[in-house]
Structure 1
Amino acid sequence: MQQALIVEDVPETSEWLCLTLQQAFQQIQVFPASSCEQARQILQTHCVSLALLDVNLPDGSGIDLVPCVRQHCPDAYIVISTIFDDEEHILKALKAGAHGYLLKDMPDRLFIQKLRGILNGDPPISPSISRRILQYFSAEKSASASHASNPDTPADPRNEAVSLSPREQEVLTLVAKGLNRPEISSLLGLSTNTVARYIRDVYQKLNISSRAEAAVEACRRGLVSTELH
């Protein structure tokens, strides 16, 4: 991590996030912004490798900034940093393309640990957020089973399963477990270009765009354990 964008309108919280990032990553340069407009101005002149975005800002939501960050800094790791732990915000953030979702009320040690996990390909998601995601898809799965037993119930298009080949399932599983492309390539005996193609195809089929979404989808499909540590 070389440069980071922090979008936070509360000065004390912004300062805390700056210090936290400096503890997590040595020699990182931080650009703070207190509004969506300031963030857009920074992105016009700086390509950051990490963005921490608050949800509730004076001129909008940090979630709405996700496409802007992806446009100007395609390789940036985008993390929503907020106090909102409701299902609506979580799913909207992941759908927009955020790679992680961290709650500000986590202990500093755990917050730093989650940020450092980015370097190993581990999606930075608060444990309570992971539980909410899994509960959502567990309820969705139950609703799907209920529909199967009662065909007169209108189908929810979100529950329609997208078919993946056995190899695509393997790749999705390994991505969800945090492995990077070279590691997947070595494990499966494939070239990195072939792995990249599989990942691209899986993401397109599932309409996802981040490792966090891949982890959620793998859990929903029963490809990885839903047990949280």
Structure 2
Amino acid sequence: MYGADLTEIHELIHESRGKDYGAEARELTRHVRGLRPGAGSLLDVACGTGAHLRHFAGLYERVAGLELSEPMVRAARRGLPDVPVHVGDMRGFDLDARFDVVTCMFGSIGYATDEAELHATLATFARHLTPGGVVAVDPWWFPETYLDGYVSGDVTTLAGRTVARVSHSARDGDACRMDVHYVVADAGAGARHFSETHRISLFPRATYEAAFRAAGLTVTYVPGPHSGRGLFLGAAA
């Protein structure tokens, strides 16, 4: 999952598809500070290459990241040399630190394979909150909003490199299986192809909300953001 090949082009391909990491960070912060006006510290879980984290660093006094993919951790550390970025699994980690905000962006929460793992993930997030802190989760699609058989394709060119991405997503029980193919072409190196397969859980909204409440968080769902997937906000006592 998320190896060196994808790490190299991850931000380029998603920004070319219209993803605005800065706008998403600002919008999430607006919602968070409606619940916790003085929030000054943030942990971004499943932070990837640090694309959101770079913007969060300008919005909070203290930020940190956590990511399972070691190639992505290395990329995030290169881009954010003054920010601690930890290798860790969202389903169970202990940083011996607490934050006013814990975020999990880009549908990454869907990599929890079942309800037990979802509950463990939210409980882990809650343990890393300061009193009154907020967990903000950009979920994957709900079963009723997921488009079975969805195909997408994008091509972008920047600084002499052309990247093509084609994906197909199909229902697989209580999850979706997404096969993604990439072709990367450079003038000097030529063209190369690689592919990745992801299985991402399709949790119902009620299942997310139950996991938030089980973690001791008061949960609110905000429809609309993040390409229509929405945003969950869980506030600690």
Instruction: Answer whether TM exceeds 0.5 for this pair.
Output: no
Higher Cα radius of gyration: 1
Give TM-score scaled by structure 1 length.
0.35
Greater relative CO, 1 or 2 (CA 8 Å, sep 6+): 2
Give TM-score scaled by structure 2 length.
0.34
